[in-house]
């Protein structure tokens, strides 16, 4: 079974949700650069202040900021990991090759309109980072996290115009990584437009867990 994984795909494809599910099932460390950056922003740390302006406008946070986070997090994983939201550029992928031996990259494939739909309807738990969707994956109690009852929030960048900008950035900068990993024989493509449980099962098959 493959245990050193990268989840690659456009925003809204369900990478974060699946990473939480898989991390819970197999005790993988989940390394989500987006969540780490958002926490830094909320705490107004030095890193957070740097990242803030880039994220608000739908742009990528500069490599030196994100690479440092990743190096630090990877040094403390020994039971396997899922990197979610990284790499986003070829340069970052080259950096990752140097600091970790990735066994498989799961590519979450989904049509653009579905992604926009999912993101604008997305609500997240500020405490545990669980992700909900008022249409496909609603919480059991309206606007409350299933795990801890915390009130869900609508992220400031989860609106349509910023979403379209993020998708544009994704197609330009990140989509070339599909070829990058395919040519290294590391890529497994899954259909991320399906139901939550079906997507989980596809990932489990891909990594050899079932
Ligand atoms: Zn929660």
Instruction: DSSP for 31-45, please give it.
Output: EEHHHHHHHHHHTT-
Assess if residue 134 is contained within a domain. no
Q: Which of 30, 73, 88, 123 is catalytic?
A: 88
Give Cα separations from 19 to 14, 29, 172 (angstroms). 8, 9, 24
**Would you say 64 and 89 are in contact if contact means Cβ atoms under 8 Å apart?**
no
Q: Which of 4, 50, 155, 189 is catalytic?
A: 155
Assess if residue 157 is contained within a domain. no
Query: 10 pLDDT exceeds 90?
Result: yes
**Would you say 84 and 7 are in contact if contact means Cβ atoms under 8 Å apart?**
yes
Q: Is 164 a catalytic residue?
A: no
Rg of the chain over Cα atoms, rounded to whole angstroms, equals 16
- The residues near 11 (Cβ < 8 Å, ≥ 6 apart) are 115, 119, 163, 166, 167, 170
The sign of the dihedral angle between the CA atoms of 177, 178, 182, 188 is positive
Assess if residue 83 is contained within a domain. yes
Query: 121 pLDDT exceeds 90?
Result: yes
- List the structure tokens of 20: 């939480």
Paired with 190 in beta bridges are 108
C-alpha 126 – ligand 1 centre gap (Å)? 7
Assess if residue 30 is contained within a domain. yes
Task: Output the average pLDDT for the chain.
Answer: 92
Q: Which of 15, 38, 118, 123 is catalytic?
A: 15
Query: 185 pLDDT exceeds 90?
Result: yes
CB-based neighbours (< 5 A) of ligand 1, an ion: 125, 127-128, 130, 145, 147-148, 150
Q: Is 155 a catalytic residue?
A: yes
Confidence (pLDDT) at 72 = 81
Assess if residue 116 is contained within a domain. no
Q: Which of 38, 73, 118, 122 is catalytic?
A: 122
Assess if residue 150 is contained within a domain. no
C-alpha 152 – ligand 1 centre gap (Å)? 8
Q: Could you list the residue range(s) of the whole structural domain that residue 55 is in? A: 4-111+174-207
- List the structure tokens of 165: 């900008």
Query: 53 pLDDT exceeds 90?
Result: no
Task: Look up the CATH number of the domain holding residue 95.
Answer: 3.40.50.300
The tally of domains found in the chain comes to: 1
Maximum separation of any 2 CA atoms in the chain, in Å: 45
Position of tokens 């989840």? 7
- List the structure tokens of 85: 């939201």
- List the structure tokens of 27: 């005790």
Assess if residue 59 is contained within a domain. yes
Q: Is 30 a catalytic residue?
A: no
Provide long-range contacts, Cβ within 8 A and 24+ apart, for 92-99: 92/63, 92/66, 92/67, 93/177, 93/180, 93/181, 95/63, 95/67, 95/70, 96/6, 96/70, 99/70, 99/71, 99/74
**Would you say 180 and 1 are in contact if contact means Cβ atoms under 8 Å apart?**
no
Assess if residue 189 is contained within a domain. yes
Average of per-residue pLDDT across 82-106: 93
Query: 52 pLDDT exceeds 90?
Result: no
Q: How far apart are CA 206 and CA 201, in angstroms?
A: 9
Q: How far apart are CA 51 and CA 60, in angstroms?
A: 9
Percent of the chain with pLDDT over 70: 100
Q: Is 88 a catalytic residue?
A: yes
Confidence (pLDDT) at 19 = 94
Confidence (pLDDT) at 33 = 85
Per-residue pLDDT tens for 33-48? 888 888 888 888 888 8
């Amino acid at each position: 079974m493959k245990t050193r994984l990268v989840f690659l795909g456009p925003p809204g494809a369900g990478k974060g949700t699946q990473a939480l599910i898989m991390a819970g099932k197999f005790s993988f460390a989940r390394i989500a650069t987006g969540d780490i950056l958002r926490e830094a922003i909320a705490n107004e740390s030095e890193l957070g202040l740097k990242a803030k302006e880039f994220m608000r406008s739908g742009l990528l946070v500069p490599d030196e900021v994100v690479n440092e986070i990743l190096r630090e997090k990877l040094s403390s994983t020994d039971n396997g990991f899922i990197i979610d939201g990284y790499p986003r550029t070829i340069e970052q992928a080259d950096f990752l090759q140097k600091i970790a031996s990735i066994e498989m990259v799961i590519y979450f494939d989904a049509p653009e309109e579905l992604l926009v739909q999912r993101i604008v309807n997305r609500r997240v738990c500020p405490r545990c980072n669980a992700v909900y969707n008022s249409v496909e994956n609603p919480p059991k109690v309206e606007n409350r996290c299933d795990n801890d009852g915390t009130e869900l929030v609508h992220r400031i960048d989860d609106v349509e115009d910023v979403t379209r900008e993020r998708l544009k950035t994704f197609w330009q900068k990140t989509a070339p990584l599909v070829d990058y990993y395919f040519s290294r024989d590391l890529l497994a493509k899954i259909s991320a437009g399906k139901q939550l449980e079906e997507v989980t099962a596809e990932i489990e098959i891909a990594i050899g867990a079932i």
